[in-house]
Structure 1
């Protein structure tokens, strides 16, 4: 009987500490992807096709990216209250200690920050968050496997538009134009 009591007590403690009640960024994304106030977009890595003009190092860097999730809240007159509520929620989520700030910048009324999850040299998720009080806010989750942020930044600086095949984005752009 003592063993059963200890087991139940142990499970209760584990459940208590594992369920802290805070919403994760993934849960926030899933909860809002069908919300009419949001635009959501999931881009598989197959849309980021490697081009022959890329160096081997650029191809290897791009291959660490598996998927990109984008969730945007365009601000309109009729959704100002919801905008403020959702902005507060996302900012609360991003204040969690598990997110490490890579960089922040402010320009012309727009605030943005780049955060990451994982180790500095082997990142599993990069989060790009931007907000503009007039236009809205958006968050992009770049999911991958052991991504190196320095190499990603270097690749983005040196990549020409014709180095990445963006044909896969054409249908996506058309669907946004039709809405």
Structure 2
């Protein structure tokens, strides 16, 4: 009996290890590339969002459901064009995973925009949004909006309330998007 228990435990541990190692994740991709010279990487916590003092209780709840943005951008140049193609394919493969549900896809004049979320279609709340923006001549940006039980329609409403984003992180973000001509 002890031998059977050991064998079953070994099988379970091996299958868990193999299942985790076999599928790449956005988190692992961020970690693997945040120090890569081809990428610009930074996080923006919810605390940098300064709202007017008189926001509604509903807006306050929405803000509390938002935790942070993770931004990873590949800035393409002549010297890294081959690497751009490889990295772009990796990201596309990761976000094609069935755990991400597509909300919006736009292709226009060589630019691509994809908005996905992690969750079940029957859920009304989301814990992660994934935004992929690419332009072949400039590069791509991968943005993760992380939170807890975020409601998409309320998040859009809250975005209209955001004011005074004068942090260093926001200035970096504006610079990245200006350089990539995404804004």
Deviation at 1:52, TM superposition (A): 1.9
What is residue 179 of structure 2 aligned with on the other side?
none
What is residue 15 of structure 1 aligned with on the other side?
14
What is residue 146 of structure 2 aligned with on the other side?
143
What is residue 155 of structure 1 aligned with on the other side?
158
* Secondary structure of residue in 2 paired with 1:49: coil
* Secondary structure of residue in 1 paired with 2:137: coil
1:129 has 2:128 as partner: no
Q: TM-score, normalised by structure 1?
A: 0.85
Contact kept? 2:102, 2:115, Cα under 8 Å:
yes
- Structure 1 runs (4+) deviating above 6 angstroms are 174-177
Q: Unpaired runs of 5+ in structure 1? A: none
Contact kept? 1:75, 1:83, Cα under 8 Å:
yes
Contact kept? 2:43, 2:169, Cα under 8 Å:
no
Using the alignment, how far apart are the partners of 2:109 and 2:174 within structure 1? 26
What is residue 173 of structure 1 aligned with on the other side?
171
Q: TM-score, normalised by structure 2?
A: 0.83
What is residue 3 of structure 2 aligned with on the other side?
4
Q: Unpaired runs of 5+ in structure 2? A: 176-183
* Secondary structure of residue in 2 paired with 1:15: helix
Using the alignment, how far apart are the partners of 1:56 and 1:92 within structure 2? 40
- Root-mean-square deviation (CA, aligned residues, Å) is 2.2
Using the alignment, how far apart are the partners of 2:109 and 2:2 within structure 1? 63
Contact kept? 2:42, 2:169, Cα under 8 Å:
no
Residue-by-residue CA offset, 1:106-155 (whole Å, 9 max, x unaligned):
22321111111134312111111111111111111111010011111233
Closer/same/farther in 2, CA of residues 176 and 128 from structure 1, 3 Å limit:
closer
What is residue 163 of structure 2 aligned with on the other side?
164
The alignment covers a number of residue pairs equal to 171
What is residue 78 of structure 1 aligned with on the other side?
79
Closer/same/farther in 2, CA of residues 108 and 48 from structure 1, 3 Å limit:
same
